[in-house]
Chains A and B, each alone.
Chain A
Amino acid sequence: MVAIETLMNWLITALAFGSTVLGGYVGYQAYRGYRRHNSRAMQYLSVGLFCLTAVAFVVAFVGSVFLRQGLLPSQFQQPLTLVTRAFQFVGVLFIAYSLHYRE
């Protein structure tokens, strides 16, 4: 049972990491689009994608490692989730705004 649990944990981390890398790639292309065309919509899109994927994952991952190692007291569990969710919310907010942004 422990083996399956470990495998699942690895899989969860791998998928989260994969989402971050791919999200970062899409965000990077959006950033290049912003630089090449001076497009504000693409600027918002890239910021949104980075917040939603890279930033949210790094905060959640680093935070959970710190919690597990005891570097952060366990009562930080909930605030950490709040920060992660906040980044995700800001991310989709930026993406939604970029959809409606017109020069």
Chain B
Amino acid sequence: MSEDPAVGDILDLLSDEYARDILAATSVKPMSAKQLADQCEMSQPTVYRRVEWLQEYGLIEEQTQIETGGNDYSVFAATLSEFSLALADGDFETEIERTEPPAFPGQDEQDTADRFTKMWENL
């Protein structure tokens, strides 16, 4: 687990509506900057600014979408799964939980046949 940023910094980031929209969208499935711009109704420069900000705190990660034909492009996936704020003994304590990216496609499937299918189809 990486070191958590200061309370104020993380609250600043999460108070930004654009940043939250991007997190929400990319927690469903990885999306490119263009897809994010369309879905969240913001300009691409806004998307890039927020994504950079989110990356700074490790709440989103960049992945490369491999395309047959060589036109690979970047997609972004939320890594934030839980953010909590606690107040005790005169201190605010934040805790950020991040999702572990799966080591191989279908890793989280419970059923062997589902896991096998995803692995095989993604070879």
Contacts and interface: CB of A to CB of B under 8 A. Distances in A.
B121 A36 contact: no
A99 interface: yes
Contacts of B113: 29-30, 32-33, 35-36
B114 A33 contact: yes
A36 B123 contact: no
A39 B123 contact: no
B117 A37 contact: yes
A31 to B, nearest CB: 8
B112 A45 contact: no
| B interface: dominant SS | helix
Contacts of A33: 113-114, 116-117, 120
Main secondary structure of the interface of A (DSSP, over half): helix
B112 A29 contact: yes
Q: Looking at chain A, what size class is its interface with the partner chain? A: 10 to 19
Contacts of A39: 117, 121
A36 B117 contact: yes
A33 B113 CA distance: 5
B116 A36 contact: no
A37 B109 CA distance: 13
Contacts of A32: 111-113
A34 B118 CA distance: 11
Interface of B: 111-114, 116-117, 120-121, 123
7 contacts: A29-B112, A30-B117, A32-B113, A33-B117, A39-B117, A41-B121, A42-B121
Given A36-B111, A37-B114, A42-B121, 12 more contacts: A29-B113, A30-B113, A30-B116, A30-B117, A32-B111, A33-B116, A35-B113, A36-B114, A39-B117, A39-B121, A42-B116, A99-B120
What 8 A-B pairs come out closest when comparing CB atoms? Answer: A33-B117, A32-B113, A33-B113, A29-B113, A37-B117, A29-B116, A29-B112, A33-B116
